[in-house]
Structure 1
C-alpha cells in the first residue's frame, strides 16, 4: 500500500503512523506544505494521511496553501481513496465533508481520557479499543460531525474525538500517533499554550506520562489502523 502524508509543520510528522506503515510493509511519502504545495496525482497513492499543526482551518490569510490543500482532500475523498486525519487533519477532513469547524469551549492539552460511544464500541475499527482510554491531545478547535459520519469517541470537553465516514475516512482529533520525541517537540514549540486550566496539563506531567503511556497507546493505534486497512 502507498501512503501519502500532508505535513503542516516540521514537528508534527506521521510519527507512529510511519512506524506502523514500515512494520506492515507499506511505502510512505510526504508533502511538507510549509515548503511546497506540489502534491502528487491521485493515482500515486492509496491512502492520504493529513497531519496536525498549530494553525486553524480558517487561517488562509497566513497560510495560503490551506485552500489548495482542502481542494486536494476533497478530490481524494471524491476519488474513493482512504484518508486519515489527525487533529488539524481531522478538522480539514470534516470541513471537506461539509461540517463546521470552530473553537472548542476549552483547549485540551495533555494526557486525558476519551470514551467510546456505543457506535465506537460496536465499530470494526475502534471496537478493539477499551471503552475508556487515555490518549494525547493538543488542540483548541473542534469539528461538528459530518452528515453520514459515525461518531466513535468523545472526551469530557470535546464531543467530537473520532469519526468514521463511508468506512474509508477516519478522523482523529486526538494524537494517538505521538511518540516521546514528537511530544517533546510540541511541548517545546507550542509552550505558550500551556496555561493553567483543568483541561491543560503542565509540561512536566505531560512528559512524565508520555514516558509511561506511549507504548500502550501505539498498540491501540496499530490495532485500529490494521482494522481500518482491512475495511473494503
Structure 2
C-alpha cells in the first residue's frame, strides 16, 4: 500500500443494516481501518473531505427528497466538492445515485423496481474492472435510476436499466447494484425491507433461496474487483 494513501476508509451509511458487508473484512485484510458515519445523524464533513477512500452506501430514500430529508442537501453539496477535487469515492446504489446527481445528471424514479438477482451486461472495454461479473448474477435493489453523467464511462447495464455502473477516471466509481452484500447478513435485508418487498410483490422465500445460491460467489468476485481497484488507487 502506498504510504501516502490514508489507511482509513470512511463509509457513509443511510440505513444501519446496509453496511460494507463482505467488503469490510476485505479492507481489513488489505491493511485498512474502517470508520462509519451515519447520514442524518453525524456531520459528514470529515468523511467527505477525507483524502483517502470514502464509500457512500445505499438506502431507501431518493436523492430528490431533500425537503423531507434536509441532511441530503448538505451531503450533496459536500459530495460535489469532493468529486470536483477527484478524491477517491465509491458509491453503491443510493451512493451511485448521489454521485450521478452531484455530477449534474438526472436521478428519477424508474418504471419498475429492480429487486433480485440477475446478471449485468458489461460494456465493451479492455481490462474491464467488472470483468469477474461476466455472466454472474448480482443483487439489484432499487426503484430509482439515473442518466449517465457527462464524461462518465459506462461500465454495465441490466435488462431493466441501461445505467448500472460508471466510472470517472480512476478515482470515482458508481455501482447501482449491491456488490457488497454478504450471504450471512442478507436476512437483515429481508426483515428491514419487508414493506418494500411486499409492495413490489417480491416472493421473499424465493429471494432468500437466490441469496443463498448467488451471494457466496458474488463475495468472491467482489473481492477480486475491489482489490484491483484499490491497487489502482493506492499506487497512483
Matched ranges for 1:22-61 at <5 A: 22-40=28-46, 44-61=50-67
Hey, what does 2:76 align to over in structure 1?
70
Tell me whether 39-48 or 24-33 shows the greater mean CA deviation.
39-48
Corresponding position: 1:135 with 2:141: no
Secondary structure of the corresponding residue to residue 9 of structure 2: strand
Structure 2 equivalent of residue 174 of structure 1: 177
What is the aligned partner in structure 2 of residue 100 from structure 1? 106
Question: In the alignment, which residue of structure 2 is the partner of 1:125?
Answer: 129
For 2:205 and 2:17, the matched residues in 1 are separated by 19
Structure 2 partner of 1:210: 211
> What is the root-mean-square deviation of aligned Cα atoms in Å?
1.9
TM-score, normalised relative to structure 1: 0.90
C-alpha spacing 1:166/1:93, structure 2 compared with 1 (3 Å): same
The CA deviation at 1:183 is 2.2
Distance 1:28 1:81 in 2: 17
SS of 1:105's partner is strand
Distance 1:181 1:37, change over 3 A: farther
Q: How many residues were matched structurally?
A: 227
Q: 1:33 deviation in Å?
A: 1.3
Deviation at 1:226?
A: 1.5
- 1:90 and 1:172 mapped to 2: Cα distance? 6
Does structure 2 retain, via aligned residues, the 8 Å contact 1:3–1:45? Answer: no
Does 1:185 pair with 2:188?
A: yes
- Please give the alpha-carbon distance, in whole angstroms, between the structure 1 residues aligned to 2:50 and 2:99: 20
**Distance in structure 1 (CA, Å) of the matches to 2:25 and 2:51:** 18
Q: Is the 8 A contact 1:179 1:214 kept in 2?
A: yes
Runs of 4+ in structure 1 off by over 6 angstroms are none
How far 1:43 sits from its partner (Å)?
5.9
Residue by residue over 1:82-138, the C-alpha shift from the partner in whole angstroms, topping out at 9 and shown as x without a partner, is 10000000000011111111111211111122121213xx244223x1422201111
Unaligned runs of 5+ in 1: none
Structure 1 position 22, deviation (Å): 1.1
Cα distance in 2 between the residues matched to 1:43 and 1:57: 20
Cα deviations across residues 166-185 of structure 1 (Å, max 9, x unaligned)? Answer: 11111110011111344212
Question: TM-score, normalising length from structure 2?
Answer: 0.89
Segments of 5+ residues of structure 2 without an aligned counterpart are 1-6
Task: Quickly say closer, same or farther: Cα 1:37–1:43, change in 2 above 3 A.
Answer: closer
